[in-house]
Amino acid sequence: VINKAAGLVVHPGAGNARGTLMNGLLHHAPALEELPRAGSIHRLDKDTTGLLLIANTVPSHTALVRLLADRDIARHYQAGCAGVLTGGGTIDEPIGRHRADRKRMCVRDDGKPAVTHYTVLERFAAHTYISVKLETGRTHQIRVHFAYRRHALVGDPVYGGRLALPKGASDDVIATLRAFRRQALHAVKLGFVHPESGENMTFEAPLPEDFSSLLDALRKDVE
């Protein structure tokens, strides 16, 4: 969704490496070269799907950065995780850089505050479909928090560990889990007050086909 009059670009897509994202944005709108990080406000991990929030003017960038810092941008995700969660809750655990692997993050006492709220959408035989709302926005926050709770996201290549196939799973589920080679994480909704008009803005992006197919396979296994 492109809103030029508002000075904002909200784009449903897939997270990419930082350089690729920057190049794509600059190709779409060369004027973004004047803004920090090509105007990126809400970015995604590589292979996470969903909504990106991009400012395309200096005033909107300044205002949206302030909204994000004040936790006034509502960021909602949907995810599939290993194990069966009995109910929703909050994960309040600080996150910092992994001491041995600088490309990874981890829960550590001297990390930055990180708060993740979640509710259960659907339970399966050995997995759970969840809705997640971020209170903070640390790098890899959702993935790190659920891995720390031993409910790593399905397909996560960094925090998921070795693929564990549930006992008694159908051939269809086993094949689907083996083929799902990215974290099952989707930025489904963004909400904020427009920095110029004061209007409440909400944007949503439907689940991608691979995530929907994963859920369908897990549902059939329960049936």
Which position among 45, 70, 110, 171 bears the catalytic label?
45
Q: How far apart are CA 108 and CA 191, in angstroms?
A: 30
- Residue from 190, 153, 210 nearest 68 by CA: 190
Nearest to 153 by CA among 58, 47, 67, 69: 47
Which amino acid is residue 110, in one-letter code?
D
Q: Is 45 annotated in the active site? A: yes
Contacts of 69 (CB under 8 A, 6+ apart): none
Q: What is the DSSP string of 182-211?
A: S--EEEEEEEEE-TTT--EEEEE-PPPHHH
Residue 86 · residue 204 · CB < 8 Å:
no
Give the C-alpha separation, 131 to 184, whole Å.
12
Task: Give φ, ψ of 131 to 5 degrees.
Answer: -105, 135
Residues acting as catalytic residues: 45
